[in-house]
Amino acid sequence: MIEEYLLYIKSVRNLSDATVRSYGNDLHRFEEYLRSPGVSLDEVSIHDVRGFLTELSALGLSTATLNRVLSALRMFYSYLVKHHGWIRNPTIGIRGLKRRRKLPGFLFEEELDSLFMLPEDSFWGLRDRVILELLYSTGCRISEIVDLDVTEVDFKEGNALIRGKGGRERLVFIGGLAMDVLKRYVALRDGYARSQDNDAVRALILNRQGWRITARGIAYIIARYVQKAGIAKRISPHTFRHTFATHLLDRGADIRMVQEMLGHSNLSTTQIYTHVGIERLKKVYEKAHPHAKR
């Protein structure tokens, strides 16, 4: 039942491989939990679900993880009710945990400049600069940069076709500075790609072995440059996406346009970046206004 459901959400619902893996782990973990009391999946009650979540909470799992587990169970049983005629969904009546949303971290322009100056004047240095520029210029997720093919970039118009979460397509823009670096890189990349591998030939960003780069590879490159630049903040590839959105909204971009560029399905996801701007204004006020201190 679990394997059939995972195949369904991958092939029919078009959920990402990472989401399918996470849901699979959650469901198999729940199945393991039920073995001790000898409860089968079709005998599960609301008390079993609550007991499972309580056990995970005692292990120190975060609120976000617990909500994901609940979501995985809720969707699994909804599928069984709809497609297999099961009578009830034992997750009905269990609410997700409320969690305080952290404001995303971002980079200041000076910090970005210090990073962009670091790559050396070589093909691999050029490749690293392309990674940094694309992440900031497009606001793409790291997985979207990894999956990007050369043919999906329109070098004349300065944009790229991205396939995001759930297989949704969107067009992202590549700024002038990023495009200049990208053109120089692409002019040389064919000589470094594994010509016998079709995926490597298509891939825009290569690793040093000539294959398509991985998300872990990009994260390693960024960590190395952050350390070189002496930036004390905790920076990940996703920080560039946060920075992209924050800088656009700070300069008056319409929030719905930013939502479109980020590929968010819900406006509420994008609205977190307006809070970043408000927090920055608040700090400036508290520092500068004579009567701001309490």
Q: Which fold has domain 2-84?
A: DNA polymerase; domain 1 (1.10.150)
How many whole angstroms from its chain centre is CA 46? 32
- Tens-digit pLDDT profile for residues 64-115: 889 999 999 999 999 999 998 888 899 998 888 776 666 567 888 899 999 9
**Residue 266's pLDDT band (cuts 50, 70, 90):** confident
- Which of these, 144, 50, 138, 129, lies nearest to 97 by C-alpha position? 50
Q: What ranges do the domains of the chain cover?
A: 2-84, 109-285
Residue 120 pLDDT > 60, yes or no? yes
- Tens-digit pLDDT profile for residues 40-54: 888 899 999 999 999
Residue 99 CA to residue 94 CA, distance in Å, equals 15
Q: How many Cα atoms within 13 Å fall on the side-chain side of residue 148?
A: 29
The phi, psi pair for 98, rounded to 5°, reads: -75, 135
The CATH number of the structural domain formed by 109-285 is 1.10.443.10
**Residue positions annotated with a catalytic role:** 141, 165, 238, 241, 264, 273
Percent helix, strand, coil in the chain (nearest 5)?
A: 60, 5, 35
CB 66 within 8 A of CB 53: yes
- Which of these, 51, 10, 6, lies nearest to 27 by C-alpha position? 6
